[in-house]
Amino acid sequence: MKSSLTISKSLQTACQFIEVQENQQLAKDVELVCQQLVNPHFGIAVVAPFNFGKSTLINALLGREIMPTKMIRTTGAVISVKYGKTLKTIITLNSGRVIKSNDTEILKEFAVLNRKGQRREDVISVEVFYPHRLLKNGVELFDLPGTNDREEQDTLVRDKLLQVDLVIQILNARQPFTQGEKETLHNWLFNRGIKTIIFVLNRMNELESIEDKNEVYNDVYSTTKTFESDLPQGFKKLYRVDALPAIKAQQERNIWKIITSGIITFESTLFTIISVQKEKTNQTRLLRVTAIASQVKSVLQKKANNLTKEIKDAEDIRNAVIEKGKQREEYLRKEFKRRVKTYRNWLSLDTLVATYQTNAAQALETGSFNNWQNSKFQSTILSYIQSIENWANQSCDEFQKSRSNRIKISFPSCPDVSLPKRQERDFGQWFGDIFNGGANRRKLDKEYERKKWQAYKTAAYNYLSKFRTDTLASLNKYEKTVESLIVFAIPPESSTVIQKRYYLNDLNSSLNAIQDIESLKIETNIYRLNWLKRFKFFLLFCKNCLFLLLQ
């Protein structure tokens, strides 16, 4: 099993992720249960609303009127009652001043509410030391302010309940288990893992008939029976004690009245419970730790879920942007390739020859080649190039890239035409033309014109072939450059999301640590006593009863 220090550290680390302003009480509870894990003392808190007899019961347990008791709202601070060789009261103020007294009269000045029902703000602690065997071996009694009175006092009580090992809840026989008491039990005790609780039904002596007493007791017993308890098997959760008659009987040393008040049975049982509970203090405290840890886990899990959703929403938005960008990239690249392909198809030698060889040859023949090149031919080229470059520039601008250089247009120089030599007539052809009307001469001229035209066409073909080769090289280079630019740049993950992810990882680590705390193998079943311990505690109970009767 993990050490108390490790458990405390894990829980306090997890608490760092809690929004303190929204969960002040939970953060305070974490601090308190962690402190209680290493507290060497065994604390017993007496809890009840105003005027239910808290201080009177403590006085009855101690056999002396030590705590102030009046029909006004008295206890305004947590009064710690510890063992001491003599009666002594120590008041510690926030100024550092320590006030000591050999009686408890000083409590009326520092631990009692004023006429406005307000407690002193300068009091840090109130301690009463008294030589009673109940307080030996590190046992502390805490007289707490009345509940359901003032929020400030309720906060004091609620906090202190996590710092004790046993809670004594006093019930008033005239108004047992008010709705406020039930809510207090659930919200302040059971929901926080505090299950070591016993109930004291006070003021039964004020009920007139036995029937009323039995009815009240049975109703209260039925209610307390429904509450889950961490007390050992065999110990009752409900005890009847008439605190004020017990005090008076002790002062009068009336043994019978002391016995009938119920204080002997209750105090003897309390001694026995303390003996048993001391053996399982760590278990009891760990139950509270796991209960508080579950509350912390609930808060952190909600926070982790919200954070996970925030991160996922941000990722979904980013992924949608990326998907849209990729689709846009695909479209822009596809259209760019289509335009380049159209231009490349136009640059095929067959297309160029079929479309422009004749016109180029005619321009060469008429001496207007440069004019043809710079007008008709170049205008067609520019239309293709402009279509490609406009799309490329638009794509670069859209993706915030620098524009590529323009497609280089390189026209070959005006081709040199190797014209054929005109073939002259030989004598026979010349002589024959005399008789055939110049047929031989016309034939030779026609052949010359054919060869000359072929020479122009060959020159035009070579020109177009050279133009195609140079232009394709330039186009391929441009295409490669632009394709490297038409790329959607995936946006980096925002620093906020990265920080949230790191935070979530730490948060999940704390949640895992809390899960480990919750999974501790703590025995939560009713503590069962073997026969030897039963006999031992029976003897202890009898001994305590005898001692209390004879003291």
Tens of pLDDT, residue by residue over 398-454, are 999 998 889 888 889 988 888 777 666 666 666 666 667 667 667 767 877 888 898
Q: Highest mean pLDDT: which of 150-154, 428-432, 529-533?
A: 150-154
Tell whether the torsion through CA atoms of 362, 365, 371 and 373 is positive or negative.
positive
Q: DSSP state, 105? A: T
Q: Looking at the DSSP assignment, which residues form a beta bridge with residue 125?
A: 92
Q: Where are the beta strands (DSSP E) in 57-212?
A: 79-83, 88-93, 98-101, 123-130, 139-143, 166-172, 197-202
Q: Which token pair is 446?
A: 């026609």
Q: Which token pair is 434?
A: 């005399």
Amino acid at 432: G
pLDDT at 71 over 50: no
pLDDT in tens, 463-483: 999 999 999 999 999 999 999
Q: Looking at the DSSP assignment, which residues form a beta bridge with residue 80?
A: 127, 142
pLDDT at 119 over 70: no
Q: DSSP state, 261? A: T
The C-alpha atoms of residue 400 and residue 329 are separated, in whole angstroms, by 12
Q: What is the CA radius of gyration of the chain?
A: 52
Q: What angle do CA 11, 189, 40 make, to 5 degrees?
A: 60
Strands 88-93 and 123-130: antiparallel
The C-alpha atoms of residue 84 and residue 222 are separated, in whole angstroms, by 39
pTM: 0.71
pLDDT value at residue 141:
93
CA max distance for the chain: 179
Q: What number of other Cβ atoms are within 10 A of residue 317's Cβ?
A: 12
Is the domain spanning 39-280 CATH 3.40.50.300? The answer is yes
CA 138 to chain centre: 41
pLDDT at 383 over 90: yes
Q: What is the mean pLDDT of residues 322-333?
A: 96
- Reference 276, options 538, 82, 521; nearest CA is 538
The C-alpha atoms of residue 97 and residue 401 are separated, in whole angstroms, by 75
pLDDT at 357 over 50: yes
The C-alpha atoms of residue 18 and residue 20 are separated, in whole angstroms, by 6
**Residue 538's pLDDT band (cuts 50, 70, 90):** low
Q: What are the residue boundaries of the structural domains of the chain, listed by start?
A: 39-280, 347-485
Listing DSSP states for 182-232 in one string gives HHHIIIIIGGGT---EEEEEE-GGG--SHHHHHHHHHHHHHHHHTS---SP
CA 484 to chain centre: 43
Instruction: State the Cα torsion 27-30-35-38 to the nearest 10°.
Output: -170
What's the chain's average pLDDT? 84
Residue with the larger pLDDT of the pair 197 and 149 = 197
Contact 76, 112 (CB under 8 A): yes
Tell whether the torsion through CA atoms of 197, 203, 205 and 211 is positive or negative.
negative
pLDDT value at residue 272:
84
Q: Which residue has the tokens 């177009």?
A: 464
Amino acid at 548: L
Question: What's the order of all strands across the beta sheet hosting 197-202?
Answer: 98-101, 88-93, 123-130, 79-83, 139-143, 42-47, 166-172, 197-202, 238-240
The C-alpha atoms of residue 184 and residue 29 are separated, in whole angstroms, by 16
Which distant-in-sequence residues (6+ apart) come within 8 Å of 280 by Cβ? 527
